[in-house]
Amino acid sequence: MRHQVPSGHRDFAKAMRSNPTAAERRLWSILRAGRLEDLKFKRQQPIGGYIVDFICFEHRLIVEADGSQHAESEADALRDAALTSLGYRVLRFWNHTVLTETDSMLEVILNELNK
């Protein structure tokens, strides 16, 4: 199912793909090209008026890598609720977790994919 993408979101998403954080680079190296259980993930994808870090459309799973600016973010809670209302599940990981606890993070993602 395609969603309307606000004007400018595609260009902004493209720019974000060109300038990933270290955590996003690490996560993408794991998720890209079917490396995780042969699943297809896309990165910096416009969905429902937002740009999500990573998404597996087949399983309707969004994976976000967050820095400290997201701590106790009311905007993120509203965003997650909006994405959930569209039928997506959202997993959020701190950048530190992505970079230093990769195996445990992958276990959480795999568990969510296998639900």
C-alpha angle 48-50-106 in degrees, rounded to nearest 5: 100
Share of the chain above pLDDT 90, in %: 66
pLDDT of res. 1:
45
**Residue 16, pLDDT above cutoff 60:** no
**Residue 14, pLDDT above cutoff 60:** no
Q: Give the bridge partners for 99, in sequence order.
A: none
pLDDT of res. 8:
65
Average pLDDT, integer, range 19-32: 90
Distance CA 87, CA 81 (A): 10
**Residue 12, pLDDT above cutoff 60:** no
**Residue 91, pLDDT above cutoff 50:** yes
Average pLDDT, integer, range 86-110: 95
Pairing of β 61-66 and β 89-94: parallel
Which range is least confidently modeled, 11-20, 55-64, 69-78, 97-106?
11-20
Burial of 83: CB neighbours in 10 Å, binned 0-12, 13-18, 19+: buried
Question: Global pTM?
Answer: 0.81
**Residue 74, pLDDT above cutoff 50:** yes
Architecture of domain 9-113: 3-Layer(aba) Sandwich (3.40)
